[in-house]
Each structure stands twice: as C-alpha cells, then as structure tokens.
Amino acid sequence: MIMKKYFLFLLILSACSGETKEFVLSPVDFLAKLKSTADPILLDVRTPKEIAIDRLENSQSIVFDGSFSNKLEGLEHKPLFVYCASGKRSAKAAAILREKGYENVFELEGGLNQWKKEGLVVESTPQN
C-alpha cells in the first residue's frame, strides 16, 4: 500500500514538473512559438523604469508586484507569452496566471537579458 502511494506521488510529481518545463522556452523557441501562435498576448511584467529603456515589440505591460493577481481582471484567456529581465518575476507571474486558469502560459527562459545575449531584436523605447 505504501509503495502504491509512493508511486502515485512520483507520477503526479513528474507530470507536474514536466508540464511546467515545456512552457519555459529558450529565446529562439519563445520567438518561434510566439510567431506561430494565433492571436497571442505578449506580456512584459517588468517595472515602468525597465520598460522605459526597451521592450519586445507589441508587448503589453502588467507590472509584477504584490497586486499582480488583482491586475489580471479583463486579461483575455489567450496564449500568453510572459517575460521580465531575468526570468524570475515572469516565472512567478506565470505560476499565478496558471492558478487563475490560464492554460497556455509560456515563459522566456533567462528573460530579456538572455534574449539580448542571443542577439534577438528589442524595441528601444523613445525617450521624451
């Protein structure tokens, strides 16, 4: 009986961890998936100060902070592509989005920093 419970626990654990991993994509895979997805939402969860420097083209911003969960009202249930500077905030944001019932949430591994290291295009934000 104990062995059955242990096996079931391992099965559930591996299923959950595998599910999340397939939604964390390298910059090249993130871009390819974004381009091949019909009507996606590209979500930048960085601070306004970070966004003032640069961003990914066609992204919309919802700052990840203590009230992030409350800011999701009205966000459509479409495939979501989430990024931040390093991937830490976007991972937390993605977890909250999944808890809220969003099913297709893709995270940019290494965030915008890794995106830039790989030479992918960012959009400079015009300074006033």
The catalytic residue positions are 84
Quick one: tokens of 61? 């911003």
Cα gap 75→78, rounded to integer Å: 9
Sequence-ordered list of residues with C-beta below 8 angstroms from that of 51, at least 6 positions apart, any chain? 44, 61, 125
Query: Which amino acid, one-letter code, is at 72?
Result: L
